Amino acid sequence: MADKFDVIVIGAGPGGYVAAIRAAQLGLKTACVEKWIGKEGKVVFGGTCLNVGCIPSKALLEASHKFVEAKHDFSDMGIEAGDVSMDVKKMMARKDKIVSNLTGGIAGLFKANGVTGIEGTGKVVGAKQVEVTDKDGKATTYEADNIVIAAGSVPVEIPPTPLTEGLIVDSTGALEFQDVPKRLGVIGAGVIGLELGSVWSRLGSEVTVLEAMDSFLPMVDSAIAKETQKLLKKQGLDIKLGARVTGSEVKGKEVVVKYSDAEGEQEMTFDKLIVCVGRRPYTKGVVADGVGVGLDERGFIHVDDQCRTSVPGVYAIGDCVRGQMLAHKASEEGIMVADIIAGHKAEMNYDAIPCVIYTFPEVAWVGMTEQDAKAKGIEVKTGSFPFAASGRAMANNATEGQAKIIADAETDRILGMHIVGQHAGEMIAQGVIALEFGSSAEDLALTCYAHPTMSEAVHEAALAVEGHAIHMA
Ligand code: FAD
Q: What is the DSSP string of 98-112?
A: HHHHHHHHHHHHHHH
Would you state the pLDDT for residue 47?
Answer: 98
- Closest CA relative to residue 269, chosen from 277, 260, 278, 259: 259
Name the residue at shortest CA distance from atom 40 of ligand 1. 54
The SS3 assignment for 89 reads: helix
- Ligand 1 center–CA 19 separation, angstroms: 14
Task: With H, G, I as helix, E, B as strand and everything else as coil, classify residue 285.
Answer: coil
pLDDT reported for residue 3: 81
Residue 35 CB less than 6 A away from ligand 1: yes
Q: What CATH class is the domain 4-155+280-342?
A: alpha beta
- Spatial distance between the Cα atoms of 148 and 315, rounded to a whole number of angstroms: 5
The binding site consists of: 58, 122, 188-195, 211, 278, 319, 325-328
Return residue ranges of the chain for CATH 3.30.390.30. 354-466
How big is the CA angle at 114 (ends 113 and 119), to the nearest 5 degrees? Answer: 115
CATH number for 354-466: choose from 3.40.50.2300, 3.40.50.720, 3.30.390.30, 3.20.20.70.
3.30.390.30
SS3 242: coil
Helix, strand, or coil here: 31?
strand
- Annotated binding residues for NAD(+), written as ranges, equal 188-195, 211, 278
Give the integer Cα–Cα distance in Å for 192 and 326.
11
Please say whether the beta carbons of 380 and 223 come within 8 A: no
Angle, in degrees to the nearest 10, between helices 456-466 and 424-436: 50
DSSP 332-384: HHHHHHHHHHTT------GGG--EEE-SSSEEEEEE--HHHHHHTT--EEEEE
- pLDDT recorded at residue 1: 56
3-state class (DSSP) for residue 124: strand
DSSP-derived 3-state class of residue 174:
helix
Residues of the chain with pLDDT under 50: none
**Kind of pairing between the strands at 414-421 and 402-408:** antiparallel
DSSP state of 387: G
For ligand 1, pick from 17, 18, 49 the residue to mutate: most ligand atoms within 8 Å of CB. Answer: 49
- Asked if residues 364 and 425 have their Cβ atoms less than 8 Å apart, the reply is yes
Does 10 contact ligand 1 (Cβ within 6 A)? yes
pLDDT digits (tens, 9 = 90+) for 323-342: 999 999 999 999 999 999 99
- Give the containing element (helix H, strand E) for 51: helix 47-52
Domain with CATH 3.50.50.60 in the chain: 4-155+280-342, 168-277
Task: Report the atom number in ligand 1 closest to the C-alpha of 286.
Answer: 18
C-alpha 53/C-alpha 12 separation (Å) is 14
Could you read off the pLDDT of 180-209 as tens digits, one per residue? 999 999 999 999 999 999 999 999 999 999
- pLDDT of 158 reads 97
Comparing CA positions, the residue from 52, 36, 41 lying closest to residue 172 is 52
Does the domain spanning 168-277 belong to CATH 3.50.50.60? yes
C-alpha separations of 169 from 165, 174, 185 in Å = 7, 6, 10
Task: Using the mean position of ligand 1's atoms as its centre, give its distance from the Cα of residue 154 in Å.
Answer: 8
CB 332 within 8 A of CB 143: no
